[in-house]
Structure 1
Amino acid sequence: MNLNAARYFDMLESEDSSDDEVYAEYVLLRRPKIFKPRPPPLETWDEVDFVQRYRLSKETVLWLVSELGSYLKTPTTMNHAISPLEQILLTLRFYATGTMQQCSGDLFGISKSAACKVIHLVSRTISTKFIHLIAMPQSSEEVKEVMAKFYSIAKFPSVVGAIDCTHIRIMSPGGDNAELYRNRKDIFSINTQVVADADLKIRDIVARWPGSVHDSTIFNNSRVKDMMSSQQLDPQTPAEKLYNESQIRTRNVVERTFGVWKRRFPCIGSQLRVKLCNVQPIIVSTAILHNLCIMKKENLPRGENSLVQLMEEENLVLPMIADNDRQYRNDLIISYFSPMLNALEDH
């Protein structure tokens, strides 16, 4: 108990003090607001150190400010209002460290409550205003381009996306439904489905299912179900083995996407210590910013390869497929991979 609180309770027990006097004295004893200096990060760090701390380049951060500034600007500049630039940098710092929100707030001289409000405001703004940056190929030209890039990996034809799920750790949400979020590894999580392209760009994301939900349930209730057409079977013929090898190497890009995404924003690679209602905007906004980095060709900060494993430890459990999809797989092996195998043997 601090001295002010102790003095307040002493006055309450005193017979000589009226209620009005106690209240007036307590108001006078309340801690005054402290406005700490906020360093200018754009001037403090060079480009390399800036990217190391905020994961995005100065140019990209300034672009975000220009695009989102009107949504983040406070109605008044009184009481040391937090500028849009400071709000974005504070949020990026939280994404980059994965620590407590208060730690990011301390860096900017901002209280814990203010830091919490800022982080979730920026996350929701990014996840709603830039959601168009996460989209499946639309035009026929874009579809052909995506297929060509996948084909260049392992010569697997007609692929427009690699799909998998990853668990984003969260705190126990509490309440009657808390156990729904406990996954098979006995940790609380959001099971997040992602479709990635050959450039490691996230093309589709579903970040709303509790950790106990099976991958196949998420897939069967997603809009990209029709894009999956393979199953886990033991290969028998050389053509089937070639098909499996090509398929594994091709879908490997989604595992690499998880690794790069979580290395770039460690907050989703460790544990999100926020309320459940704030988890989804953070997951989606980091996915959007990841895509933005891919589009702007921004590399990971130096020395980040060891933070999170490049490959996910989770095994993909593919859903069972219908007979017509199984027939498509068999036809593909017969009409495409068998001739390819014969051509390789002839050479």
Structure 2
Amino acid sequence: MARYLLLLQHLHHQRQRVPRVFRDRQNPLDYTDDDNLVKNYRLDRHLILDLCAEIGQGLERPTRRSQSLQVSLQILIALRYYATGSFQSVIADAHGVKINSVSRSIHYVSRELSLRLSRYVNFPDGRTQQLDDIKDGFHNIAGFPNVLGAVDGTFVPIIAQTEDEHLYVTRKGFHAINMQGICDSQNIFLNVVVCWPGSSHDAFVSNNSETTMLLEENDYSDSWLLGDSAYPLKRYLLTPVLNPTTQGQIRYNIAHKRTRCIIERTFGLWKVRFRCLHKSGGYLMYSPKNVFTSLNQLLFFIIFALGEAFRFPTAMATMMMKMMMMAMKTMMMIMKMTQTRRGTKLMVDKCVTN
């Protein structure tokens, strides 16, 4: 009996070799058309191939195995996560890989993109042609002269942290990172600050940024940023007049609002393209350090992929136009219903009066 139990115990603890199973990996670039590539990955085929050439050397693995992930597949896995903010298990099933491979792909792609961010996000120095072009672009919007850029902050939602959790609670009641951005008239980021929790005030983030130090130490005479009322008024930062009383102050506020709102539009376009940054796509389930890396690499996409102007690809532009047309039709129907009700009320009032 004792021998029998020992034999069963030996068989139970004996490690059995599990045969290795290779899953069927299909590269979406081989069978997905351009419209679906834009829909699922937010970039078209040409831009994805350019991205592979840009960061491919850092993603190649020195291995003799034949089953390592291709560079293009790693980039597509990361793009799918940035575009949807979905769970990594869902992305693994969609691409025929394991969840560990998805996690590593997102990490390595984010790292490579973050290392290249400084090449594409640069605040203009002194009197250069880039600075003159930025000023001309802002002046063409509402006639506001000598504008260096529009500055504002936005919240990127994250899950509650185990350390210093209260610091990440925003005034709106959710956990987030407070990111500051400065953009030009073409919706291109010139500077970003991604290192402060959600409870930080916009003015505090601005005062502790490198851009503020640059503007204070260097000569940017007759040039300024445009910010909302959350920022302090400085010689290089203009804010709206809180209680305008003269026609000049009213015109100033109108021109200031039309020019400054470009930064809010830029944040909106950024979050529409990469849903992992928006609450509709779910909260970023990472530590703040990893969130900072993700934000930096998504900014790289805006500059690298969109070139000189922030514009949607054809498929997304068509979708946005359809949404705008539907909204306009809805507004027209509401206006017609309101006019009909007003007309009916007037007729009833006349009958009652007569």
- TM-score (ref. length: structure 2): 0.76
Q: Secondary structure at the match of 2:6?
A: coil
One-letter amino acid of the counterpart of residue 312, structure 2:
N
Match of 1:303 in 2: 319
Q: Are the counterparts in 1 of residues 27 and 95 from structure 2 also a CA contact under 8 Å?
A: no
Deviations 1:225-269 (CA, angstroms, capped at 9, x unpaired): 345422342112111111111111101100000111011111111
Whole-angstrom CA distance in 2 between matches of 1:83 and 1:173: 34
Whole-angstrom CA distance in 2 between matches of 1:277 and 1:35: 34
Equivalences, count: 290
What is the CA-CA distance between 1:47 and the residue it aligns to?
A: 1.4
Whole-angstrom CA distance in 2 between matches of 1:180 and 1:55: 33
Q: Secondary structure at the match of 1:257?
A: helix
Deviations 1:34-92 (CA, angstroms, capped at 9, x unpaired): 32212221221221221111111111111111121110001115262111111111101
Q: Secondary structure at the match of 2:63?
A: coil
Q: 1:179 to 1:242 in 2, by over 3 A?
A: same
Match of 1:23 in 2: 13
What is the CA-CA distance between 1:136 and the residue it aligns to?
A: 1.3
Match of 2:220 in 1: none
Q: Secondary structure at the match of 2:265?
A: helix
Match of 1:202 in 2: 189
Pick aligned residue for 1:43 from 17, 20, 30: 30
Pick aligned residue for 2:132 from 144, 160, 163: 144
Alignment of 1:222-301 (within 5 A): 222-225=209-212, 226=215, 227-228=224-225, 229-232=237-240, 233-270=242-279, 271-295=283-307, 299-300=312-313, 301=316
Structure 2 residues without counterparts, runs of 5 or longer: 216-223, 226-236, 325-354
Q: Secondary structure at the match of 2:263?
A: helix
Q: Are the counterparts in 2 of residues 72 and 84 from structure 1 also a CA contact under 8 Å?
A: yes
Percent of counterpart pairs with the same letter? 30
- TM-score (ref. length: structure 1): 0.78
Whole-angstrom CA distance in 1 between matches of 2:198 and 2:66: 42
Whole-angstrom CA distance in 2 between matches of 1:276 and 1:124: 15
Alignment of 1:1-347 (within 5 A): 15-17=5-7, 21-24=11-14, 27-28=15-16, 32-78=19-65, 80-138=67-125, 140-175=128-163, 177-225=164-212, 226=215, 227-228=224-225, 229-232=237-240, 233-270=242-279, 271-295=283-307, 299-300=312-313, 301=316, 302-304=318-320
Q: Are the counterparts in 2 of residues 74 and 83 from structure 1 also a CA contact under 8 Å?
A: no
Q: Are the counterparts in 2 of residues 195 and 202 from structure 1 also a CA contact under 8 Å?
A: yes
What is the CA-CA distance between 1:186 and the residue it aligns to?
A: 1.5
Whole-angstrom CA distance in 1 between matches of 2:205 and 2:117: 24
Q: 1:87 to 1:296 in 2, by over 3 A?
A: farther
Deviations 1:123-145 (CA, angstroms, capped at 9, x unpaired): 11101123311111245111000
CA RMSD of aligned residues (A): 2.2
Q: Secondary structure at the match of 1:161?
A: strand
Q: Are the counterparts in 2 of residues 293 and 299 from structure 1 also a CA contact under 8 Å?
A: no
Whole-angstrom CA distance in 2 between matches of 1:249 and 1:241: 12
